[in-house]
Structure 1
């Protein structure tokens, strides 16, 4: 079984800002993750990624806010998107 792309989208917030969602369903969890998803949620302002949630092999689920990187707990896709939305709204204030 191969990875299945669930969503790949880019939404424009304004002339200098957009957010992007890339979500895959994997046949099995990546090392470091407990779920079968590979994802990247990114907020880009003036060409700079100022907020990103992602998971990568061996590193697990984490977010980048500016230059800081911190582990996050994945519970559900809905909770992940809600947390990203909250951080995105905070970053755009």
Structure 2
């Protein structure tokens, strides 16, 4: 019988819609083992957007490592912890909403 590799375990998922129809959503998986581009052992995707357009995003897609998106720009992100990741993401979302969505 072939040996199957362990799969990532979903740790958290959250989704909400603001009254203006903007969406905030995130999902975090615990990987079976750390990888070169995910040394902390987590895969994640944090999204805030409206009308199908990402306005703020944090993710670590394979080959790119940890980074964030603010509008159309992409910046490196230094992962410290899941708690700090969520805090940083929400801080950027609040800043975007407080500025009237103009970045």
CA distance, structure 2, for counterparts of residue 75 and residue 16 of structure 1: 31
In the other structure, the counterpart of 2:3 is none
Alpha-carbon deviation of 1:15? 3.7
Q: Which runs of 5+ in 2 are unaligned?
A: 1-5, 99-103
In the TM superposition, residue 16 of structure 1 has moved relative to its aligned partner by: 1.6
Task: Identify, as 1 or 2, the structure richer in strand.
Answer: 1
For 2:45, which of 25, 40, 43 is the aligned residue? 40
Query: 2:89 aligns to what?
Result: 84
- Once superposed, which parts of structure 1, at least 4 consecutive aligned residues long, lie more than 6 Å away? none
Higher relative contact order (CA 8 A, sep 6+): 1
CA RMSD in angstroms comes to 1.2
Task: Report matched runs for 1:1-93 at 5 Å.
Answer: 1-93=6-98
Aligned-partner SS, 2:18: strand
Instruction: Determine which structure has more spread, i.e. the larger CA radius of gyration.
Output: 2
